[in-house]
Structure 1
Amino acid sequence: MSPMLEKLQALDARIVAAVEAAGRPRDAVQFIAVSKTHPVETLREAVAAGVHTFGENYLQEALDKIAALGPGICWHFIGPIQSNKTRPVAEHFDWVQSVDRLKIAERLSAQRPPEKGPLNVCLQVNISGEETKSGVTPAELPALAQAVARLPQLRLRGLMAIPAPTTDVAQQHADFARLRALYEQLQRDGLALDTLSMGMSADMEAAIAEGATLIRIGTALFGARDYSQKAPA
């Protein structure tokens, strides 16, 4: 058995244990492999082991990987988006999880190639109120969500957050519960959302317990990142 397949099996065991503890079905939670700073060769190993959904933060690095791996891969952009780089994001990705401004959403919609169909998007919420972190505030979220949902070439799927890192499990639960509450309120407001993207390698159990449908897994699959190899954003 390859090392990558062993890691995938270990990850699946963690997900199974977490969904069972939460009383949820296994298919309620999916994962994306967060592959930023890892080389194409490592992604090829993951594809060979059955991974076909990747998340990338750095645009040029991601575009190189998209070209190298070819068709059959679902690509999520999960990093901050600069206004002057929305076109390649709109043209090459299947999902964008980091929309936090209407201007960015409008540009993504206008620049999405019609033949590709609507671009799936999540709104990134700054759930911990960190000054240095991207994301719309909870107070500004409802208006942004309604505006994004009306854009013709986008499909608003749900919310994403990266809470402040903590080993306090109770705090992990509290942060994820706040995001879930915002998500459920938007659903009550009439938005057809189906994706709650929260939780990573270190806190996926708390995220799954609080209703995550999509978790973002990097370290548990690829090990620590080598930021000395990071491509320009």
Structure 2
Amino acid sequence: MGSIADNMGVVTRRIQKATMAANRPADSVRLLAVSKRKPPEDLRAAAAAGQKAFGENYLQEAVEKMDALADLPDLEWHFIGPIQSNKTRDIAARFDWVHSVDRLKIARRLSDQRPDSLPPLNICLQVNVDNEDTKSGVALADIPALADAVLELPGLNLRGLMAIPDPDQPEASLRQSFRALADMLGRLRQAHPDAKGLDTLSMGMSGDLEIAIAEGATLVRVGTALFGARENPQQT
């Protein structure tokens, strides 16, 4: 692979091309650099190339990077991994976004533990859009009730939905999965027209970002195409 700066350029052009092909505004899709298992210097290189938003899966690793990059105050930190109850306090205090809220208990803890000195925590509800037994997330049918409850929590700003569809399914099925997520966000907007958020579809990764953008993604999570393969991708 090329340098991280070169990779940033390639991915940015892919996003721009896909956005144009979908007849969407040029600034309607954001890039989230998925930096788990990558050293702080890689994130620093991406930041030097203009990247501000970084997604991390593991709390302790993320905190170490935050401390190492504290001289870059404009970075935006997104937690995108499974959430354990004993980790919510630090997640609530250190992150700007959480994409992986999949139960009300976790949402309540994040709300209660969000420091008063910080703005409400931006969150997405994680949807198990393909009903996979091995995936975290809420069934589509259960999203409206969970969203209703989360919108009442003062420490949170419900921004939208996140999903990780099976990347190995046929393209037609993948499109259907992305479309189902977009349709559900539309339903939530109709049900809650006064909600301040509900503007985010976090879906699409290195291999399928064009399809996700065509189906309405507003934020794509890209790691491998930016930073290269991880040495231990199966480690959790």
User: TM-score normalised to the size of structure 2?
Assistant: 0.94
1:65-100 Cα shifts (integer Å, max 9, x gaps): 111111221000000000111000000000000001
For residues 187 and 40 of structure 1, what CA distance do their matches in structure 2 show? 38
Corresponding letter in the other structure for 1:17: K
Structure 1 residue aligned with 2:152: 150
Matches within 5 A, 1:1-233: 3-70=3-70, 71-166=73-168, 168-190=170-192, 192=195, 193-227=198-232
Corresponding letter in the other structure for 2:218: T
Residues 12 and 67 of structure 1: is their aligned pair in 2 closer, same or farther, counting only changes over 3 Å?
A: same
Asked if the contact 1:173/1:210 (under 8 Å) is kept, the reply is yes
Per the TM alignment, residue 228 of structure 1 is displaced from its structure 2 partner at its CA by 7.3
Residues 185 and 154 of structure 1: is their aligned pair in 2 closer, same or farther, counting only changes over 3 Å?
A: same
* Residue range with higher mean Cα deviation, 208-217 or 64-73: 64-73
For residues 113 and 129 of structure 1, what CA distance do their matches in structure 2 show? 34
1:107-148 Cα shifts (integer Å, max 9, x gaps): 000000010110000000000101111101111111100100
For residues 167 and 175 of structure 2, what CA distance do their matches in structure 1 show? 12
Per the TM alignment, residue 168 of structure 1 is displaced from its structure 2 partner at its CA by 2.4
Corresponding letter in the other structure for 1:194: D
Per the TM alignment, residue 226 of structure 1 is displaced from its structure 2 partner at its CA by 1.5
For residues 233 and 34 of structure 2, what CA distance do their matches in structure 1 show? 17
User: TM-score normalised to the size of structure 1?
Assistant: 0.95
1:35-66 Cα shifts (integer Å, max 9, x gaps): 00011111111111111110000111011111
What secondary structure, in the 3-state scheme, does the structure 2 residue paired with 1:116 have? Answer: coil
Structure 1: stretches of 5+ with no match in the other structure: none
What secondary structure, in the 3-state scheme, does the structure 2 residue paired with 1:130 have? Answer: coil
Corresponding letter in the other structure for 1:141: I
Structure 2: stretches of 5+ with no match in the other structure: none
Instruction: Quote the sequence identity (%).
Output: 58
For residues 200 and 102 of structure 1, what CA distance do their matches in structure 2 show? 26
Residues 229 and 38 of structure 1: is their aligned pair in 2 closer, same or farther, counting only changes over 3 Å?
A: farther
For residues 229 and 147 of structure 1, what CA distance do their matches in structure 2 show? 34
